[in-house]
C-alpha cells in the first residue's frame, strides 16, 4: 500500500526562490553586483553591507546586496594613452 502511494504521489515543488529573505554567499553577492570578492569584504568591514554569520560563514541578504549596489558608485579609472 505504501509503495502504491509513493508511486502515485505528486512531487513537491520547492519553495519559491524569489523570497525577500534569500541569503547569498560573498561570492554570489560579488557576481550579482559585478564587483570583486574583496570589494564585498570591504563593504562588510565598513558596515555598508550588513551580513549574518551562520556556521562560521558570512551570508548577505539579497535585498541588502541590491540596495548597497545602487548606493555605491563605481570608480572608473581613466585609460592610459599609448606612447606616454
Model pLDDT for residues 29-55, shown as the tens digit of each residue: 999 998 999 999 999 999 889 999 999
Q: Please report, for the domain that includes residue 42, its CATH number.
A: 1.10.1660.10
If one counts the domains in the chain, the total is 1
Kindly report whether the global pTM for this prediction surpasses the value 0.85: no
Lowest-confidence region among 4-8, 13-17, 59-63, 64-68: 13-17
Q: Does residue 77 form part of some domain?
A: no
- E strand spans, the chain: 23-24, 52-54, 57-61
Kindly state the average pLDDT of the residues 42-69: 91
Question: Domain range holding 29?
Answer: 22-70
Q: Does residue 79 form part of some domain?
A: no
| Residue 31: other Cβ atoms inside 10 A | 13
Q: Does residue 44 form part of some domain?
A: yes
3-state class of 67 per DSSP? helix
Q: Does residue 10 form part of some domain?
A: no
Q: Is the dihedral of CA 45, 47, 49, 52 positive or negative?
A: positive
Amino acid at each position: 500500500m505504501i509503495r502504491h502511494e509513493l508511486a502515485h504521489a505528486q512531487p513537491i515543488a520547492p519553495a519559491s526562490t524569489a523570497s525577500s529573505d534569500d541569503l547569498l554567499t560573498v561570492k554570489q553577492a560579488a557576481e550579482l553586483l559585478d564587483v570583486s570578492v574583496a570589494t564585498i569584504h570591504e563593504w562588510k568591514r565598513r558596515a555598508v553591507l550588513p551580513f549574518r554569520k551562520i556556521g562560521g560563514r558570512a551570508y548577505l541578504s539579497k535585498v541588502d546586496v541590491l540596495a548597497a549596489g545602487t548606493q555605491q558608485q563605481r570608480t572608473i579609472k581613466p585609460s592610459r594613452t599609448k606612447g606616454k
